[in-house]
Amino acid sequence: MTELLRTRAELSSFRSALRAGRGTAAGPLVLVPTMGALHEGHRALLRAAAREAADDGTVVVSVFVNPLQFGPGEDLDRYPRTLDDDLKMCAEEGVAAVFAPSAAEMYPGGEPAVTVDPGAGGAVLEGASRPGFFGGVLTVVLKLFSLVRPAVAVFGEKDAQQLAMVRRMVADLDLGVTIAPVPTVRDEDGLAMSSRNKYLSAAERATALALPRALHAGARAAGAGPDAVLAAARRVLSLAPGVAVDYLSLVDPATFAPYPGRGPALLAVAARVGTTRLIDNVRIELSGGQDAADH
């Protein structure tokens, strides 16, 4: 049975009981940080966490809609909150506990005065489009690591820039947490699974399929070089009325700096379909010395 923990005190008691019950032979504590509204993509994260925990470890899921990562006019108030359904999925996947604090419990003094600066990598793409976003993400992730104290944390590759920022924070601050990535999970039609997909009407969802089509077109053009990758993806998006592109960029997947011209690359896109903002990405192997700029 999955235990629901609402407070820091309940989380601390859970951890104490875990240590007392399993002792020094206990396996790793594995954390899956989420904002809830769990879907089949999250289920893949839970299953990956179970593999990391193996037979003697413990999986904990956090469910917290973090106000620090929402800017003015963003969808904090209407972000889907489905805790009962989230608990059901966690129970199905053998999760030991769900930590679902309130904002007041997570930030007892209100908005924190000390936050995490994401550095240069957090100022581009998502960071440029959503100022303060990565500071909010990294601050809450650091707090979750401090409260839960996991050995391993599981993140999805759909949020590739977030994954890169978390990895950099762990390395730079010597947090001692292993970050386990999980590939993007897609619906049968190719759309990357996201809690925000619930906002899309049937017509908007059909329009949104231009994002994965553009990425796939870019990937198919890899043999012709970086400029061809961007041109192929841009062509698909230009033929999709109703898709308002925020960015389409080819970047270094570790730093999110502009692609240096050789080696692995990440083709990333963000766009609005109706009122819903969607992101997606694909890794591409490129060779050659041609530079590519952001668009």
Which residues, in sequence order, are CB contacts of 78 under 8 Å at separation 6+?
Answer: none
- Rg of the chain over Cα atoms, rounded to whole angstroms, equals 20
Handedness of CA 13, 69, 153, 194 (dihedral sign): positive
Owner of token pair 């386990």? 180
Q: Which two tokens stand for residue 133?
A: 């976003």
Q: Is 42 known to be catalytic? A: yes
Reduced to 3 states (helix: H, G, I; strand: E, B; else coil), residue 13 is: helix
Cα atoms found within 13 Å of the Cα of residue 91, Cβ hemisphere only:
10
Q: Which two tokens stand for residue 98?
A: 């769900």
Nearest to 144 by CA among 113, 118, 194, 105: 105
Strand 29-34 and strand 152-156: pairing?
parallel
Instruction: Catalytic residue, from 39, 42, 216, 295: name it.
Output: 42
**Angle separating helix axes 160-172 and 133-148, nearest 10 degrees:** 60
Provide the annotated active-site residues: 42
